[in-house]
């Protein structure tokens, strides 16, 4: 890796996981390159947290104008989070009052684990409804309350809509894999874990909100990474989230069960990629990533760094062989969807 890449990951480790890092000297142009990557990859506030932690170092000499700009960006991100979190809590509260039992998923849940939730990428609000009647009721409620031009139904399985300043998705399935056999296995896993009481809670804007239990949530987070990797290439912020889950909730995860699920779904090799990034780039030890073992023949850390920093422009086809069954099904599903759009 070159100096800008090394400093990028050092700042990310320092700002996200509070690790001790030594920053190398860089020109103003290179500092701007580091934070340009941060903007594209949705981790700028975390990088700037790293700047603050390393601020006393001799070579931590950020250009004054860039420092001012980044302070403003962090303040804007924090204010945006405060405003949106009020709306998330309000939406989930309304749905709860109507006995819809909304279960919050994905990035909004993980953000609650960060020291500064406003510095974490939030994105879309994904809500799962464990029972069909409640999901149908929630869909009807949304259609009647957001306006005809603000919602779109996809294959009868998800509903996308805008509510105030939020982009929201209702899911009738917690997660869907393209490969039919893998998907049947996944749905059985979700159903059994749900029956066993695999739920948890987070607090957003003072509201206690139901979410998925730590072990199943870790699986869903890994599957989200796999889907993103197959479609666009690996997304750094998602892998950083896995690291935060391991650091903050790792003691609540049943890693024996998680590893068994990964093997059943045939994602063992893809999970190794996540382990490579966590160990090789984000400062984790092998013991901290017990759900996988990095084997010989895995991609070099430098290659993974290049793909992560390419912001979705890398050659993601190289990762298809790490989950061949899902990859083929995913390509077929994407092609079918594209042809359907052409016909319309």
| Residue pLDDT, tens place only, 28-66 | 999 999 999 999 999 999 999 999 999 989 999 999 999
Domain that holds residue 202: 98-212
What per-residue confidence (pLDDT) applies to 327?
A: 53
Computed over every residue of the chain, the mean pLDDT equals: 87
Residue 263 sits in the same domain as residue 329:
yes
Q: How far apart are CA 331 and CA 190, in angstroms?
A: 24
Q: How far apart are CA 158 and CA 117, in angstroms?
A: 27
Q: How far apart are CA 233 and CA 310, in angstroms?
A: 9
Indicate whether 22 belongs to any domain: no
pLDDT band at 141 (very low <50, low <70, confident <90, very high): very high
**Are the beta carbons of 216 and 206 closer than 8 angstroms?**
no
> For the chain, what is the domain count?
2
Residue 222 sits in the same domain as residue 197:
no
Q: For 313-319, what is the mean pLDDT?
A: 57
15-19, 57-61, 115-119, 217-221: least confidently modelled range: 57-61
Could you count the other beta carbons within 10 Å of the beta carbon of residue 259? 16
Q: How far apart are CA 275 and CA 225, in angstroms?
A: 12
**Last residue in a domain, options 180, 212, 244:** 212
- Triad 243, 272, 198: Cα angle to 5°: 55
Residue 305 sits in the same domain as residue 226:
yes
Indicate whether 2 belongs to any domain: no
Residue 290 sits in the same domain as residue 315:
yes
**Are the beta carbons of 89 and 208 closer than 8 angstroms?**
no
**Are the beta carbons of 69 and 63 closer than 8 angstroms?**
no
C-alpha torsion angle, residues 133, 134, 136, 137 (rounded to 10): 120
Residue 246 sits in the same domain as residue 330:
yes
Residue 223 sits in the same domain as residue 202:
no
Q: How far apart are CA 145 and CA 148, in angstroms?
A: 9
Closest C-alpha among 298, 249, 309, 310 to residue 274: 298
Residue 105 sits in the same domain as residue 172:
yes
Which residues have a Cβ under 8 Å from the Cβ of 221 and sit 6 or more positions away? 106, 110, 238, 241, 242, 245
Indicate whether 292 belongs to any domain: yes
What per-residue confidence (pLDDT) applies to 295?
A: 60
What per-residue confidence (pLDDT) applies to 308?
A: 86
Residue 123 sits in the same domain as residue 153:
yes
What per-residue confidence (pLDDT) applies to 340?
A: 39
Portion of the chain with pLDDT greater than 70, in percent:
88
Indicate whether 254 belongs to any domain: yes
At 134, list the tokens: 């409640």
What per-residue confidence (pLDDT) applies to 157?
A: 79
Which residues have a Cβ under 8 Å from the Cβ of 214 and sit 6 or more positions away? 200, 245, 249, 252, 253
**Are the beta carbons of 173 and 180 closer than 8 angstroms?**
no
Residue 177 sits in the same domain as residue 254:
no
- pLDDT, tens digit (0-9, with 9 covering 90-100), for 214-258: 999 999 999 999 888 877 777 899 999 999 999 999 999 999 999
Pairing state between β 125-128 and 166-171:
parallel
Q: For 81-103, what is the mean pLDDT?
A: 95
Indicate whether 55 belongs to any domain: no
Could you count the other beta carbons within 10 Å of the beta carbon of residue 2? 11
Integer distance in angstroms from the first to the last C-alpha of the chain? 46
Residue 208 sits in the same domain as residue 221:
no
Q: How far apart are CA 40 and CA 272, in angstroms?
A: 25
Residue 165 sits in the same domain as residue 270:
no
């Amino acid at each position: 890796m070159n100096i800008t890449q090394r400093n990028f990951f050092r700042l990310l480790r320092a700002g996200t996981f509070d690790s001790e890092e030594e920053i190398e000297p860089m020109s103003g142009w290179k500092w701007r390159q580091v934070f340009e990557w941060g903007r594209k990859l949705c981790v700028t506030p975390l990088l700037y947290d790293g700047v603050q932690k390393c601020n006393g170092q001799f070579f931590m000499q950020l250009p004054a104008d860039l420092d001012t700009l980044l302070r403003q960006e962090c303040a804007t991100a924090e204010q945006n989070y405060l405003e949106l979190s009020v709306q998330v809590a309000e939406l989930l509260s309304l749905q709860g009052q109507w006995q819809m039992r909304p279960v919050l998923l994905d990035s909004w849940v993980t953000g609650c684990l960060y020291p500064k939730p406003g510095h974490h990428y939030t994105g879309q609000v994904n809500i799962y409804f464990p029972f069909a009647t409640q999901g149908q009721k929630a869909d009807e409620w949304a259609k009647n309350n957001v306006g005809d031009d603000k919602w779109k139904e996809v294959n009868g399985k998800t509903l996308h809509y805008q509510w105030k300043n939020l982009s929201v998705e209702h899911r009738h399935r917690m997660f869907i894999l393209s490969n039919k056999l893998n998907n049947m296995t996944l749905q059985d896993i979700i159903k059994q874990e749900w029956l066993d009481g695999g739920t948890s809670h987070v607090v957003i804007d003072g509201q206690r909100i139901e979410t998925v239990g730590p072990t199943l949530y870790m699986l869903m987070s890994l599957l989200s990474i796999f889907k993103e990797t197959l479609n666009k290439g690996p997304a750094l912020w998602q892998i950083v989230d896995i690291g935060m889950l391991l650091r903050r909730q790792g003691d609540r995860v049943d890693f024996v069960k998680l590893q068994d699920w990964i093997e059943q779904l045939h994602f063992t090799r893809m999970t190794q990629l996540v382990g490579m990034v966590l160990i090789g780039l984000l400062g984790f030890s092998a013991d901290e990533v017990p759900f996988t073992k990095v084997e010989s023949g895995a991609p070099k850390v430098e290659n993974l760094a290049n793909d992560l920093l390419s912001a979705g422009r890398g050659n993601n086809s190289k990762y298809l062989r790490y989950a061949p069954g899902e990859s083929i099904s995913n390509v077929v599903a994407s092609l079918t969807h594209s042809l359907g759009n052409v016909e319309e």
